[in-house]
Chains A and B, each alone.
Chain A
């Protein structure tokens, strides 16, 4: 069953243009000029119930605008969308009972009050009875390791602690779907890991679907099964994360250390030699064109190997490559 179905979704913003300086400002007062920006352009995709879907793209790609339309905050300029059977901008309030949202850059917890106050308020807003709210808070406090944080004013929490509370707050009413817009922005490695673990747990235990936008390829790798990459409001890539890796992570980096010195003219056909040192070499090759086996055979024929490391390029590089390809295509 689909939890999200989007067809030809469109959002155009009118942006006022103004030439630089005082003259430009005065002219724009009398003769304002507007230009249209296609924030979301003919977007179509589907998301299964309980799926972990990554929705990524560079700044200004239309990710947040899409999320805001899917939560009913923005009205689209065209197209259709159905979220859990509701048209978001028509049934915003009904839909709100079924979904949770976290906008990483905009806190929803009351800043001066302890998080427990916001949780209790959300219990009322989502029309849970008091006993149910309390039980749910206890459960989330354990799942998100935030028992000791609940009674501290939010302003005194670290960013990582606060984000844990933010995500937990969005799950209070047992939503079927949560939309996370940059939940890991600005977090350190440990805090990111904690958030990812908690999200994964909620997905597995409660079957809550997760639509996640992020700049961080690590979020995608750690959490998502499928990814949609958008740029300029359009989908430029859509596939399973494992396929993304298989298709694009074909470049291998190899570092070898030998027991004896290496010949200065060390070379292998179809392999780019990045560095040749006294005892080691660093090389790069495309596994789709040159077989791993033949490269390894050449490496071992060159001398006694002390150490060898084979690594994939980071996913971020792959995504950057996809953006580049999309740009060339335009």
Chain B
């Protein structure tokens, strides 16, 4: 119980800390408004060029709400890899490592603390914009059903990003890896185009990768919720979380021995 309350407190203090500069928090979240407007313009043209109201099972309205949630997941998640790499570079990792908690659980708790308000604001601004452009979501209850999958998505993002962050123990600067990860998530996660619009062979590849569970799965569940889809999204996501978190724990155990703490 004390262990749980430890990480809960770390989560809470990060949550409070994220409100230190509310103006910056709101300003950053406003970025989702132009993004959604651009998506609306692009997909409106695409749907009219296709001459159909439904493409691959999605309407224009579904597509926009899908993209809103996909963007909320992506824009809400904190730069875990960069934060970890910075703490190795500037030596502040010394303070993170000298307290009686598990390093990875500490990082996860702070990551989630940083995520919540940012994601909520993104969802509010993005949701209002999409509502004005294409109307209410076809299945508003999908939002509640998608929440566990969104939380799972962040856990999955965390596992991958923490692994990238841990590589800082050896290489210090990880910006190249985060760039590659981000682009892979764009393409295989369905951040710009729902995976349903991909050619069949590419869909098969993309859906087999963890990126789909981190973006596409929860966003698709939101626009077309069903028990069947919920079970399939959550079970695939859970499988990936188990595999990647175990790998992460192994990488951490070997990485910590390589650590060089900078500074006096």
Interface residues of A (CB under 8 A from B): 13, 59, 64, 68, 71-75, 92-94, 96-97, 99, 101, 103, 105-106, 108, 110, 112-113, 117-118, 120-122, 124-127, 181-182
* Contact residues in A for B226 (Cβ distance below 8 Å): none
Is A96 touching B9 in the complex (CB atoms < 8 A)? Answer: no
19 CB < 8 A contacts A-B: A68-B261, A72-B97, A73-B94, A74-B259, A75-B259, A96-B98, A101-B94, A101-B98, A103-B91, A105-B263, A106-B94, A106-B263, A112-B20, A113-B13, A113-B17, A113-B20, A118-B13, A124-B10, A181-B264
Within 8 A of A (CB), among B72-107: 91-95, 97-102
Within 8 A of A (CB), among B105-126: none
Q: How far is the CB of B235 from chain A (nearest CB, A)?
A: 33
In angstroms, Cα B88 to Cα A232, docked, is 24
Within 8 A of A (CB), among B232-264: 256-257, 259-261, 263-264
Q: How far is the CB of B61 from chain A (nearest CB, A)?
A: 40
In angstroms, Cα B97 to Cα A226, docked, is 29
Is A121 touching B100 in the complex (CB atoms < 8 A)? Answer: no
Is A106 touching B259 in the complex (CB atoms < 8 A)? Answer: no
* Contact residues in A for B56 (Cβ distance below 8 Å): none
Q: How far is the CB of B253 from chain A (nearest CB, A)?
A: 12
In angstroms, Cα B95 to Cα A118, docked, is 13
Give chain B's interface secondary structure class. loop
Is A182 touching B264 in the complex (CB atoms < 8 A)? Answer: yes
In this complex, how many residues of chain B approach chain A with their Cβ under 8 Å: the count is 28
Q: How far is the CB of A244 from chain B (nearest CB, A)?
A: 23
Among A74, A96, A121, A127, point to the contact of B13 (Cβ < 8 A): A121
* Contact residues in A for B98 (Cβ distance below 8 Å): 71-73, 92, 96, 99, 101
Is A125 touching B94 in the complex (CB atoms < 8 A)? Answer: no
Q: How far is the CB of B18 from chain A (nearest CB, A)?
A: 9
* Contact residues in A for B102 (Cβ distance below 8 Å): 93
If A64-B264, A74-B261, A113-B16 touch, whether A97 touches B100 (CB-CB below 8 Å) is: yes
* Residue in A closest to B10 when the chains form the complex, CB atoms: A121
In angstroms, Cα B261 to Cα A110, docked, is 21
- Residue interface mask B1-42, A partner, CB < 8 A = 1: 010011001100100110011000000000000000000000
Closest A-B pairs by Cβ, 10 of them: A112-B20, A124-B9, A96-B100, A127-B2, A108-B95, A73-B97, A93-B100, A71-B98, A75-B257, A121-B13
Is A117 touching B97 in the complex (CB atoms < 8 A)? Answer: no
Is B17 touching A125 in the complex (CB atoms < 8 A)? Answer: no
Q: How far is the CB of B94 from chain A (nearest CB, A)?
A: 5
* Residue in A closest to B19 when the chains form the complex, CB atoms: A112
